[in-house]
Structure 1
Amino acid sequence: MDKVASKLTTYEGQNITIIGRTTLINSVITSQVVYPATQLVILPTILLNVNKLERAFLWSGTDKTTGAKCMVNWEIVCRPLQYGGLGVLNTNKFTRALWLRWPWYEWKEPTKMWVGMGNPCDEDLNFFYASNTIIVGNGAKTPFWDSPWLLGRKPKDIAPLIHEASKRKNWKVREALKQNAWILKIKPPANVSAEHITQFFTLWVLLHEVQLDQLTEDDILWKHTASGLYSTHPHTRRNS
């Protein structure tokens, strides 16, 4: 935070217009956050302090301000210009968008050394999958339970009771479908209900129709770009 704040000491913020301060916030403060956020997990408290510094500089031209000087709600300030905002980058939401590159690389470059060691995007995986189209080939990359690969739905959402009863939660589609291994890992509860049976057969019927292509690798396509490649650029326009 001290490094971020020190970048503004050379500017006399009180003598700069709101538009000028907005430009400095995006070019000076935000830039100090974006680079480390692409590689490191930044604590929410740090992002909160950055937002406080941005608000203070925007409304007061200094590193501190009061609520009385904040003329517009910060969420509105962070809207793009065409939507009535000032175009200030929402660092919290943009950081979450940057973290989506972690699961993206897990798909695209699974040989990276850190793959399999977890990533900071766990809480945003639903957003990640909603932003991508999964193309199942040989099933070697696609998470069986946790990704929406089966008619656009996650198997654990189709059959939550069966997912709960499964002794193995973390495996890929190819592993799970090989000789119906997913069935062998189900440990039925003491009291099997009619809903258990219904969910099992619903999932079984859907999986029975799946045909893997052993010569084709699984792939994902980013929905927000024409190229199908991950980019944070659309999120800079939708950070409100």
Structure 2
Amino acid sequence: MGRLVLINSVLDSQLVYIMSSLQLLPGFVKKVDSKRRSFLWSGKDSCSGAKCLVGWVRGRVCLATLTGDLSGDHWMTLHALLPLYRSITTCLIKDGRSTTFWFDAWHGEDDLSTKFPSLFSHAKKTEVSVREVLETGLAAHLVPRLTPQAVEERDALQLVLDDVMLSEAPDMRYCPIVGVGGNLHIGSLYRVMRNGEGVLSVEAVFV
């Protein structure tokens, strides 16, 4: 919001001032628009289209669950890839906003739905971020009455949560098929998505 205010109050007003006495060339206007987009989405002098897209998506959906105000075939395909993405990545919790509490592997190699199956079966809402659970408390996300096994798992999980400290830095995600610089090895992912008989899945065709 602060960047948007600066753009509206400073950069746009400067353009109005200049145009009151000069006729601007189309190329100049495009250059200014490029600077404004870069500042809005990244706070820097330049920004790739991908970063602009990510910034736009962040404002419309929850990155932890990919739920929100977006639609279309490409988006639905990306959403269908989410379970695979979770299965090949692990997370380091920072702000807890982009990591799902139950389905991402953020405490060890297995996700919490696998580690605590009885407790997971008592969850009110499965698609919830780590930050949401930590801010409101584990009990708020469980049904009132738990089975004895679920109570044991709840107590064990609470010990884990007591050691988690949130920060304002974004969560970090690691993947064994990501190379230096964060580049995804698409060939490796493509092979993972093939079944044993060599028939491609719909998602594999998209990749």
- The normalised TM-score by structure 2 is 0.52
Structure 1 residue runs of 4 or more that deviate by more than 6 Å after TM superposition: none
SS class of match (2:90):
strand
Q: Does the CA contact (< 8 Å) of 1:134 and 1:149 recur in 2?
A: yes
Deviation of 1:121 (Å): 5.5
SS class of match (2:121):
helix
Q: Which residue of 1 aligns with 2:56?
A: 111
Equivalent AA in structure 1 for residue 56 of structure 2: T
Q: Which residue of 2 aligns with 1:199?
A: 153
Q: 1:166 aligns with which of 115, 120, 123?
A: 123
Q: 2:166 aligns with which of 212, 216, 222?
A: 212
Higher RCO (CA 8 Å, separation ≥ 6 residues): 1
Deviation of 1:237 (Å): 6.6
Deviation of 1:140 (Å): 0.9
Q: Distance in 2 between matches of 1:157 and 1:138?
A: 23
After superposition, what is the alpha-carbon deviation per residue over 1:95-154, rounded to whole angstroms, capped at 9, x for unaligned? xxxxxxxxxx9xx93633675256336665443223223222100111111111122322
Q: 1:229 aligns with which of 166, 171, 183?
A: 183
SS class of match (2:150):
helix
Q: Distance in 2 between matches of 1:206 and 1:223?
A: 25
The alpha-carbon distance between structure 1 residues 154 and 110, as it changes in their structure 2 partners (threshold 3 A), is farther
Rg larger in structure: 1
Q: Distance in 1 between matches of 2:171 and 2:124?
A: 25
Q: Distance in 1 between matches of 2:121 and 2:55?
A: 28
1:1-240 equivalences under 5 Å are 109=54, 111-112=56-57, 115-116=66-67, 117=70, 119-120=76-77, 125-180=82-137, 182-189=138-145, 192-214=146-168, 216-227=169-180, 228-235=182-189
Q: Distance in 1 between matches of 2:89 and 2:190?
A: 18
Q: Distance in 2 between matches of 1:110 and 1:187?
A: 35
Identity %: 16
Q: Distance in 2 between matches of 1:224 and 1:175?
A: 29
The alpha-carbon distance between structure 1 residues 129 and 169, as it changes in their structure 2 partners (threshold 3 A), is closer
Count of residue correspondences: 130
Structure 1 residues not aligned, in runs of 5+ = 1-104
Deviation of 1:175 (Å): 1.1
- Quote the RMSD (CA, aligned, Å): 3.0
Q: Does the CA contact (< 8 Å) of 1:221 and 1:229 recur in 2?
A: no
After superposition, what is the alpha-carbon deviation per residue over 1:164-222, rounded to whole angstroms, capped at 9, x for unaligned? 21212222111110141x31221134xx43212111111111111111222x1012233
